[in-house]
A and B are shown apart, each in its own frame.
Chain A
Amino acid sequence: MEQPALTISGYSLDYLTPRGVHHALVDIDLAIARGEVLGLVGESGSGKTSLAWSIMRYLPGNARENGGRILLGRDDLRAMAPAAIEEIRGRRIGMVFQDPSTSLNPTLSLGIQLAEVLERHRGLTRRQAWREGEQMLARVGLKDPPGMMRRYPHEASGGEKQRVVIAQAFACQPECILFDEPTTALDVITARQILELFAELQAETGVASLYISHDLALVSRVADRVAVLHHGNMVEQGQVAGVFGAPREAYTRRLVAAVPRPDRRLVAELGPAEAAAAPLVAARGVSVEYGRPSAIARLFGRDRAPVVGNRAVSLDVRPGEIVGVVGESGSGKSTLARALTGLNPFSGEIVFDGRPVRGIADMDGAYRRDVQIIFQHPDSSLNPRQRIGEILARPLRLHDRLPGAAEAARIGELLEQVRLPATYAGRYPHQLSGGEKQRVAIARAFATAPRLVICDEITSALDVSVQAAVIELLLDLRRRHGTAYLFITHDLNLVRQIAHRIAVMYRGDLVEVLDAQAFSAGPTHPYTRSLVAAVPVPVG
């Protein structure tokens, strides 16, 4: 049998922390053959990235390896001296990172950063490396390679930068390349193009690839085999269709079940009466512009065209309805949320429950009580110096002014409503997990018994199983209180599970609003169609 390009056997890794030993990886076995793609999936903290650092021999000072072998071809990487490892990195093992905007040096041109790899490992002169670099850029599908070589990272788009990073990884024809969430930081459509490039280069070069991702649907699309990590243990490993289609282990089953599937609806459709109800909120031609001229620009009397956040968006939300808003980053999704909550000045009109709201001044106590927002990152939306009880007491004091004992009881109720123990009131946010913090943020939004809750990417920072639990909680709260949601997300599969209607935004414009059935039947607008086509649908 042919020697695999990468073999890991019996490998264990611990981190020594002030709180004791953390077992990051336990007895890992895997092998990747030439030309094969092994997908590595797991939730945050499962050890996916630790495994990548172990292979690259890039471990922090507090890491302790407890036996096992990492073989590149027949060479034991663990036995190599640092100087030998430097020779291997970039030449025999390449790596593609998550975020191309931080993994490229901002003050060096793209050409220099690509050419230096070729100079270092293939002994080319700067001139030869530059010419070779241009060919590499052409190969990764960049237009105008000579021009791109001279550009700086800030002068290229995210997709272009990731192509340059990929060109670097493939530059020296390595035996093995590690891909660490290479499309997570990119827009859906760009990510799709990068995946196509990956598949093409993979087939062409026959490199062995370790593809690390938290996105099961995506891995099922790119990988031949898949390995599932959980708390540093290899839970299951095998062909993609087998592992995702018929998981043997309980953990894998839970993971697969948590992946949003557009065909599995989680909400009851609105009845005819509900669907015909007068809108709770109606945005009429709401526009937001960013960027006021600076004091100096005004001094010199220069007009600057403002940046458009949204252009004349009109959208209704009926009582108890879930309206999904999807689009790429920068499409104006969050801007809409900020206008509706008065965080941004806007022009146009919002009609709330038949009452016109023409600006922030019209958003009185009643409006604020009825319209609440939950943000993406609970870490930044919860005050780290306040206990959970104080955080939840703020809206209660503002709107309800309950006596002390009643307030404490209400805080307990709110916590239990989001399935957290009432004793959490005495804790600080940093003592909670990410999912628990987001539950606190949800409890805070529901403290005033709102009629509309705006959810701005509230599950994007969460693991898939935590996301499933949060979504289930939101749907449960809606059943109990009849709350309407404006659910902003970039996750098309998720929104198709829960939204009654889906609004698609593109570059500040509302492209179309479709009800869920029409969306599944096939959207009409070309942008929506390309969006749907770009999103991988889970297998199994």
Chain B
Amino acid sequence: MSPAYALKRCGLIVYTLLVVSLIVFAITQVLPADAATMLLGENATAEALAAVRERLGLEAPVWLQYARWLGGVVQGDFGTSLRTGLPVAPLMMEALGRSLLLALLSILLMLAIAVPLGVIAAVRRGRAADLIVSVLSYVGVSLPEFVTATVFVLVLADWLQILPASGYVAPTQDPLRALQHLALPVLTVSVILVAHVSRMVRSELVDVLHSDYVRAARLKGMKPRTVLLRHGLRNALLPTITIVALDVGYLLGGVIVVEEIFAIPGIGRQLIVAIQARDLPAIQAGALIMAATYSVANFAADLAYAWLDKRIQYD
């Protein structure tokens, strides 16, 4: 990948975010009630509404409101929360940090489970082990999160009492307790994702093991282990990178139920709170931050892919 291309991709990310910001801003504009009405309620007097509108700058033309908001955003200022009266940015960034930690640990655990399972299923294709892996991973993906989470809480927190059932501790405060608190949510999320990736690894590896170059490696007398790892798995894992990047998106927004059950104040939970409170600046910030994280994750996946597969040449 050439530096020029990397620069261009960064430009595209900015472009994407600009479009997202337009959409997010437009949605808040077409809502039937504006920020002032939401703040003061349906029964507010016309004078009070006008005063608040004056204070929030809602009287200005729409494009000027957008420009002001965007101007703040690029400086890291997403405005003031209508709910708490505090700046939105620090709140959302903290929440994002917690969600990213959850996401990262979940992905690591998921890979540690899913890749070996996929390899076993591919190597023992059509036999009992393949069937068991496939049934187990489908059970994992088809059970709703709250069921999986409840089972884990019941077994590990309630009966065995080895892990705390809920709550969040910042790793900067107490790393060990932080990990203990994260263990159950990470386990729950990983179980959901394992099916995805193990099926992907399995089918890719089955294809690769049937390829001419794997046959050539076998006929060169390479040991089965070398054939499987160096020639097989390495190539089979490439498409998995893309899947993992897509999962990042799910992990940021889609695990609200898990964050809710385990009382983790992640970005998904913050966004729900903001939507319930009609806290427009917080909603805008949450949506934009998630879009940015998602774009960066995909970019990182493309970089990793190009690094591992030299045929991929972005220009």
Do B221 and A106 have beta carbons less than 8 Å apart?
Answer: no
Chain B 92-103 interface 0/1 with A at a Cβ cutoff of 8 Å (1 = within) = 000000000000
| Residue of B whose beta carbon sits closest to that of A98 | B212
A134 CB to closest chain B CB (Å) equals 18
Residues of chain B within 8 A of A102, CB atoms compared: 211-213
Do B213 and A89 have beta carbons less than 8 Å apart?
Answer: no
A136 CB to closest chain B CB (Å) equals 14
Do B222 and A104 have beta carbons less than 8 Å apart?
Answer: no
Do A89 and B212 have beta carbons less than 8 Å apart?
Answer: no
With A97-B212, A154-B310 known as contacts, the answer to whether A107 contacts B221 (CB < 8 A) is no
Q: Among the listed stretches B19-27, B226-234, B270-278, which one makes contact with chain A, having 4 or more residues with CB under 8 Å of it?
A: B226-234
Do A90 and B311 have beta carbons less than 8 Å apart?
Answer: no
A225 CB to closest chain B CB (Å) equals 24
Do A86 and B309 have beta carbons less than 8 Å apart?
Answer: no
Residues of chain A within 8 A of B220, CB atoms compared: 89-90, 116-117, 120, 168
A70 CB to closest chain B CB (Å) equals 15
Q: CB < 8 Å: which of B223, B231, B238 contacts A105?
A: B231
Q: CB < 8 Å: which of A103, A108, A120 contacts B223?
A: A120
How far, in angstroms, from A88 to B220 measured CA to CA in the complex? 9
Q: Is B203 among interface residues, defined by CB-CB distance under 8 A?
A: no
Do A105 and B213 have beta carbons less than 8 Å apart?
Answer: yes
Q: Is B30 among interface residues, defined by CB-CB distance under 8 A?
A: no
Q: Is A413 among interface residues, defined by CB-CB distance under 8 A?
A: no
With A90-B221, A90-B222, A116-B222 known as contacts, the answer to whether A106 contacts B216 (CB < 8 A) is no
Chain A 152-190 interface 0/1 with B at a Cβ cutoff of 8 Å (1 = within) = 101100000000010010000000000000000000000
Residues of chain A within 8 A of B218, CB atoms compared: 58, 89
| Residue of B whose beta carbon sits closest to that of A106 | B311
- Could you tell me which residues of chain A, from 98 to 142, have a CB within 8 Å of some CB in chain B? 99, 102-108, 116-117, 120-121
Q: CB < 8 Å: which of A116, A152, A300 contacts B311?
A: A152
Q: Is A32 among interface residues, defined by CB-CB distance under 8 A?
A: no
Q: Is B8 among interface residues, defined by CB-CB distance under 8 A?
A: yes
How far, in angstroms, from A56 to B220 measured CA to CA in the complex? 10
Residues of chain A within 8 A of B211, CB atoms compared: 102
Q: Is B235 among interface residues, defined by CB-CB distance under 8 A?
A: yes
Q: Is A400 among interface residues, defined by CB-CB distance under 8 A?
A: no
Chain A 80-99 interface 0/1 with B at a Cβ cutoff of 8 Å (1 = within) = 00000011111100010101
How far, in angstroms, from A183 to B223 measured CA to CA in the complex? 28
Q: How many residues on the B side are at the interface (Cβ–Cβ under 8 A)?
A: 26
Residues of chain B within 8 A of A90, CB atoms compared: 219-222
A535 CB to closest chain B CB (Å) equals 27
Q: Is B217 among interface residues, defined by CB-CB distance under 8 A?
A: yes
Interface of B is mostly: helix
Residues of chain A within 8 A of B8, CB atoms compared: 300
Interface centre among A89, A104, A105 (most CB of B within 10 A): A105
B47 CB to closest chain A CB (Å) equals 49
Q: Is B308 among interface residues, defined by CB-CB distance under 8 A?
A: yes
How far, in angstroms, from A309 to B221 measured CA to CA in the complex? 42
Residues of chain A within 8 A of B68, CB atoms compared: none
B137 CB to closest chain A CB (Å) equals 26
Do B311 and A154 have beta carbons less than 8 Å apart?
Answer: yes
Do A58 and B213 have beta carbons less than 8 Å apart?
Answer: no
How far, in angstroms, from A268 to B148 measured CA to CA in the complex? 81
Do B309 and A103 have beta carbons less than 8 Å apart?
Answer: no
With A106-B235, A107-B235 known as contacts, the answer to whether A97 contacts B221 (CB < 8 A) is no
Q: How many residues on the A side are at the interface (Cβ–Cβ under 8 A)?
A: 29
Q: Is B124 among interface residues, defined by CB-CB distance under 8 A?
A: no
How far, in angstroms, from A471 to B8 measured CA to CA in the complex? 54
Residues of chain B within 8 A of A91, CB atoms compared: 221
With A97-B212, A102-B212 known as contacts, the answer to whether A107 contacts B310 (CB < 8 A) is yes
Q: CB < 8 Å: which of A106, A120, A121, A152 contacts B213?
A: A106
| Residue of A whose beta carbon sits closest to that of B15 | A299
How far, in angstroms, from A114 to B212 measured CA to CA in the complex? 16
Residues of chain A within 8 A of B216, CB atoms compared: 95, 97, 103-104, 165
Do B212 and A121 have beta carbons less than 8 Å apart?
Answer: no
Tell me the total A-B contact number using a CB cutoff of 8 A. 74
Residues of chain A within 8 A of B238, CB atoms compared: 107
Interface centre among B12, B212, B234 (most CB of A within 10 A): B212
- Could you tell me which residues of chain B, from 160 to 219, have a CB within 8 Å of some CB in chain A? 211-219
Residues of chain A within 8 A of B311, CB atoms compared: 106-107, 152, 154
| Residue of A whose beta carbon sits closest to that of B218 | A58
How far, in angstroms, from A178 to B215 measured CA to CA in the complex? 14
Do A120 and B212 have beta carbons less than 8 Å apart?
Answer: no
Residues of chain B within 8 A of A86, CB atoms compared: 221-224
- Could you tell me which residues of chain A, from 181 to 238, have a CB within 8 Å of some CB in chain B? none
How far, in angstroms, from A499 to B218 measured CA to CA in the complex? 45
Do B221 and A87 have beta carbons less than 8 Å apart?
Answer: yes
How far, in angstroms, from A339 to B306 measured CA to CA in the complex? 36
Do A107 and B223 have beta carbons less than 8 Å apart?
Answer: no
Residues of chain B within 8 A of A88, CB atoms compared: 221
| Residue of A whose beta carbon sits closest to that of B214 | A105
B222 CB to closest chain A CB (Å) equals 6
Interface centre among B214, B217, B234 (most CB of A within 10 A): B217
Residues of chain B within 8 A of A99, CB atoms compared: 212
A2 CB to closest chain B CB (Å) equals 26
Residues of chain A within 8 A of B12, CB atoms compared: 296
Do A95 and B219 have beta carbons less than 8 Å apart?
Answer: yes
B131 CB to closest chain A CB (Å) equals 18
| Residue of A whose beta carbon sits closest to that of B208 | A105
How far, in angstroms, from A95 to B218 measured CA to CA in the complex? 11
How far, in angstroms, from A90 to B218 measured CA to CA in the complex? 9
How far, in angstroms, from A165 to B212 measured CA to CA in the complex? 13
| Residue of B whose beta carbon sits closest to that of A57 | B219
Do A105 and B221 have beta carbons less than 8 Å apart?
Answer: no
| Residue of B whose beta carbon sits closest to that of A91 | B221
| Residue of B whose beta carbon sits closest to that of A168 | B220
A33 CB to closest chain B CB (Å) equals 23
| Residue of B whose beta carbon sits closest to that of A87 | B221
Residues of chain A within 8 A of B235, CB atoms compared: 105-107
Residues of chain A within 8 A of B222, CB atoms compared: 86, 90, 116-117, 120
| Residue of A whose beta carbon sits closest to that of B231 | A105
| Residue of B whose beta carbon sits closest to that of A99 | B212
20 more A-B contacts (CB under 8 A) besides A89-B219, A103-B212, A106-B213?
A58-B215, A58-B219, A89-B218, A90-B219, A91-B221, A95-B216, A95-B219, A99-B212, A102-B211, A103-B213, A104-B213, A106-B235, A107-B235, A108-B230, A116-B230, A117-B222, A120-B220, A121-B221, A152-B310, A168-B220
Binding site for B on A (CB under 8 A): 56, 58, 86-91, 95, 97, 99, 102-108, 116-117, 120-121, 152, 154-155, 165, 168, 296, 300
Binding site for A on B (CB under 8 A): 8, 12, 211-224, 226, 230-231, 234-235, 238, 308-311
18 residue pairs of the A-B complex, CB under 8 angstroms, read A86-B222, A86-B223, A90-B222, A91-B221, A97-B216, A99-B212, A102-B212, A103-B216, A106-B213, A106-B311, A107-B235, A107-B310, A116-B220, A117-B221, A120-B221, A120-B223, A152-B310, A155-B310
Q: Which 10 pairs across A and B sit closest by C-beta, in order of nearness? A: A90-B221, A89-B221, A102-B212, A90-B220, A103-B216, A105-B213, A152-B310, A103-B212, A154-B311, A95-B219
